[in-house]
Structure 1
Amino acid sequence: MLRGPAVHSPPTVLIAIPSHDFDPTEVAVSWRVLSDDGVRVRFATPDGQPGRGDALMLSGEGLDPWGFIPGLRRLKLLGLALRADARARAAYAQMLASEAFAHPLKHVDVDVHDFDGLVLPGGHRAAGMRAYLESPVLQRLVGLFFDRKLPVGAICHGVVLAARSMSHATARSVLHGRKTTALTWKLERTAWSLTRYFGRFWDPHYYRTYLEAAGEPAAYRSVEAEVKRALASPADFLDVPADAPHHWRQASGLFRDRSDDTRSAFVVQDGNYVSARWPGDAHLFAQTFAGLVTRRVS
């Protein structure tokens, strides 16, 4: 009996997000790239309702020093530089209209057996992100994805969620023994300084999800410092090498990558794990992760 070629169903990836304040670039670009590569994307939120991205990162309104004045907040200077770029905003609008985004799962209802990979995006605004990063439900779920050796991608503060997640097999962070990157202190400090000194002075810690407590050294609660504490060695935290051909574009924080030009991006892959630093890496991050998922199921 002759049989036709095997028909493979498309891989399915979960993007876990908070209820609000996630970074719109990191979520929407990941969704767009994965979808364009034939990957089925599902979303999950704490309550099963559609999430909301950080409004300041979408519009840029409220990031300049006059941003608290109703009549002037639409005038943007610093806001134009810090907000999501046009490609990311377009992807975000398309994502909002998608069936998958409109009907997310609840975090607690996710079954790891239904998925071929997991994406952990970031965001920095404490109001929405702390609950996400501190969720025991998500930390347990991340541990299961790693223990099953399924592809996991984490970008920016999403790497903090991975660092806090324990392997059920080793009782250590899932990142222990792995190479990773994340939002570097240099990038985090630059954005924090810009907004507290030259922009959103009435909300000076908008860019810091966690601040140091009394007696803690500077940067102790930064993304880079926390992730390093979860690793087998601080040397396993990687940043752009000094001799990289496009070091200035990659390290300055002034350039964002595009689907057709990823020279400014920096991404680390260690086996089935992919990590990146900030929204400026989003296209290469998503492309690398999509390739990992599609090769695995092909």
Structure 2
Amino acid sequence: MATVLIPLPALDYDPSEVAVPWRALTQAGHTVVFATPDGKIASADPIMLSGEGLDPWGLIPGLRKFPLFGLLLRANRDARNDHALLVQDKAFRAPIRWNDIEATPFDALLLPGGHCKRGMRAYLESKLLKNVVTECFAADKPVAAICHGVLLVARSTRDDGRSVLYGRRTTGLTWALEKSAWSLTRITRFWDPDYYRTYREKAGQSPGYMSVQQEVSRVLADSSDFLDVPRDAPHYRRKTSGLVRDTDSDDSAAFVVRDGNYLSARWPGDVHRFAREFLAMLKTVDEGSSQ
């Protein structure tokens, strides 16, 4: 069985992208170690749990308890149930500090995402975490990243100065998905129109230049190495609408990409398949090492 490290920001991680893989890993007998900036318990993005605050009436205390548009973006029931169990888990409640990661033995790395800039930027810009990612790729340890977690991987560089993803295939939060959520929330959450954009374009930059897809694509050997759902894929519309999330019993809406010991996924709607594929990866690595 493997020990899997899951680094988290202090605030605003996506609950689906943490809780579902945690549940899958622990049920399979793996050990999960969490790490936060200061060794304190991390807090999820509350909007992604409740959906409250994504409607035009979200500023009104009584009415905010009745989300409508928020129901489209929040974690689904499976993920919310998993998260309710996660926050009671002993390992989750006793994380190590980011500074202590190198002194902690682990076999694999899982990088969840989140989009709220309040908490995510420190995670995505951490030199400590980027060094951990680089070391894992150099050692060919299994690494799984989803949504903005892929951005942290892309920003991690090898000795030659190139991203660890140079020469690899990956997916990540696509501009189509990011733009559709942003287009909705900048209207419905008009008092905070950039809630769904971790980084915004500066003057002179083209639309989407600072999106996850475009930033990741810029560090790849070829932009075509960033993969999205092929148009002839089964269930194409379910996979790309941004309205359907996968579940334990139905992953027809999901899309993931595996390249060797690296696994990537686009958004919380892929997370159940993402978790299962990661388990399969760990099994393959374990079987290979025992031969």
TM-score, with length taken from structure 2: 0.97
1:190 partnered with 2:177 = no
Question: What are the equivalent positions in structure 2 for 1:11-90 lying under 5 Å apart?
Answer: 11-90=2-81
Shift of 1:57: 0.4
Say whether the 8 Å CA contact 1:152–1:273 is kept in structure 2. Answer: yes
Equivalent residue number for residue 177 of structure 1: 167
TM-superposed CA distance for 1:294, in Å, is 2.5
**Cα distance per residue 1:48-80 (max 9 Å; x no partner):** 111000000011111111001112110111111
Q: Could you say what secondary structure the match of 1:154 adopts?
A: strand
Write the mapping of 1:91-102 to structure 2, written as runs, cut at 5 A: 91-102=82-93
Structure 1 position 263 matched with structure 2 position 233:
no
2:117 counterpart residue number: 126
Aligned partner of 2:284 among 287, 291, 295? 295
> How many residue pairs align between the two structures?
287
User: Where do 5+ consecutive residues of structure 2 fail to align?
Assistant: none
Return the alpha-carbon distance in structure 2 between the equivalents of residues 274 and 187 of structure 1: 19
> Is there any run of 5+ residues in structure 1 with no aligned partner, and where?
1-9
Match of 2:152 among 161, 174, 181: 161
Structure 1 equivalent of residue 139 of structure 2: 148
SS at match of 2:26: helix
Give CA-to-partner distance per residue, 1:28-63, whole Å, 9 cap, x none: 111011111211111011101110000000111111
Correspondence 1:223 to 2:223: no
Q: 8 Å contact 1:173–1:231 — kept in the other structure?
A: yes
| Paired position in structure 2 for 1:243 | 232
Q: Aligned-pair distance for 1:112?
A: 7.3
Q: What CA distance in whole angstroms lies between the structure 2 residues aligned with 1:82 and 1:251?
A: 14
Contact preservation (8 Å) 1:96, 1:102 = yes
Matched residue of 2:186: which SS?
Answer: helix
Q: Give the share of equivalent positions with the same residue, in percent.
A: 56
2:275 is matched with which residue?
Answer: 286
Report Cα offsets for 1:260-284 as digits up to 9, x if no partner: 2111100000000000000000011
C-alpha displacement at 1:297, in angstroms?
2.0
Q: What residue is the counterpart of 1:7 in the other structure?
A: none
SS of 1:100's equivalent? coil
**In the alignment, is the contact (CA less than 8 A) between 1:130 and 1:209 conserved in 2?**
yes
- Secondary structure of the residue aligned to 2:92 is helix
State how far apart, in whole Å, the 2-side matches of 1:240 and 1:84 are. 22
Change (3 A) 1:50 1:131: same
Within 5 A, what are the aligned runs for 1:195-214? 195-197=185-187, 199-214=188-203
TM-score normalised by the chain length of structure 1: 0.94
SS of the residue 1:145 aligns to: helix
Deviations 1:119-170 (A, max 9, x none): 01000000100010000010011100110000000000000000000124x4
Give the CA RMSD over aligned residues.
1.0
Is the contact between residue 267 and residue 276 of structure 1 (CA under 8 Å) also seen in structure 2? yes
Contact preservation (8 Å) 1:112, 1:145 = no
- 1:187–1:235 Cα change, 3 Å: same
Q: Residue 220 of structure 1: CA displacement?
A: 0.5
SS of 1:227's equivalent?
helix
How much has 1:113 moved relative to structure 2?
6.7
Are positions 1:276 and 2:291 aligned together?
Answer: no
Q: Secondary structure at the match of 2:86?
A: helix
